[in-house]
Amino acid sequence: MTRLHALVVVHEPGNSPGLVGSRLEHHGYELVETLVTNDLASASGRFDGGEASDHDLILVMGSMYSVYDTSTIGEWIDDELAFLAAAQRAAVPVLGICFGAQALATSLGGAVQRAERAQIGWHPLRPERASGLPEGPWMQWHYDHFEPPPDADVIARDDACVQAFTIGRSLGVQFHPEVTVSNVEVWIEAGGADELLAAGIDPAALIAETAEMQAGVVDRTNRLVDWFLADVASRSPAAWPGTLPATRPR
């Protein structure tokens, strides 16, 4: 049996696919990572995802950067956006997380802007009842928010911003379903401690809270990935415009 192939776009070292990656592997996906920047002190990098149509699924992780900050990430962001637009045309499912959701939205005609306030820590979320997206709490760590692309279906929002949308076979979520204690520790060590303190959050307390929540997060993330694969990534391309016929069953 041919194993399914999932490209994981990692923008900086340490942003692992975590719980989302583990659940994709449970469903038979082989994860192949492409690293855009390899130095936390520099945004210099290169996006190389190959041909979008060569992948069965694309997972786009978060980033410390902003999609609109082309003076900083201009070496690679246009290539990534073009790649995500090509994935949509080729009916390849995309799951975008935080920056990944913002990039997905931008590539399909949406926009990203600085948010009025940052969202950091564990926050409740109540999606639209008709969606299969599990309720929170979910981990948030972002300073930007996205406007979803035209024709997107917004399935979750809170008092801060749109939190999730689907379009075609793709899903973008502003929150972090992949998060583990290890993820949070890496973010804190990479400069997040100062951000937390500035927001009035004790880094050690956030790590402890994440550890306490881990069992519930694993269950919610598993259900999110299961729903994404069964109900979103499996949609017929004929149901939405702008795509090419799938070249193989997905």
pLDDT in tens, 187-198: 999 889 999 999
Structure tokens at 76: 């690679």
Residues 84, 78: Cα–Cα separation, whole Å: 10
Which amino acid would we find at residue 69?
D
Helix pair angle (18-26, 203-227), 10° resolution: 30
**pLDDT for 143-167, tens place per residue?**
999 999 999 999 999 998 999 999 9
**Helix, strand, coil share of the chain (percent; to 5):** 35, 25, 40
Taking only Cα atoms into account, the Rg of the chain, rounded to an integer number of angstroms, comes to: 17
Q: Which residue has the higher pLDDT, 179 or 3?
A: 179
0.95 exceeded by pTM: no
**pLDDT for 67-117, tens place per residue?**
999 999 999 999 999 999 999 999 999 999 999 999 999 999 999 999 999
Q: What is the pLDDT of residue 237?
A: 78
Alpha carbons within 13 A on the beta-carbon side of 190: 16
pLDDT of 241 above 90: no
The yes/no answer on whether domain 4-239 falls in CATH 3.40.190.290 is: no
Helix (H) or strand (E) holding 102: helix 99-107
Name every residue whose Cβ is closer than 8 Å to that of residue 103 and which is 6 or more positions away in sequence.
Answer: 60, 67, 77, 80, 81, 84, 96
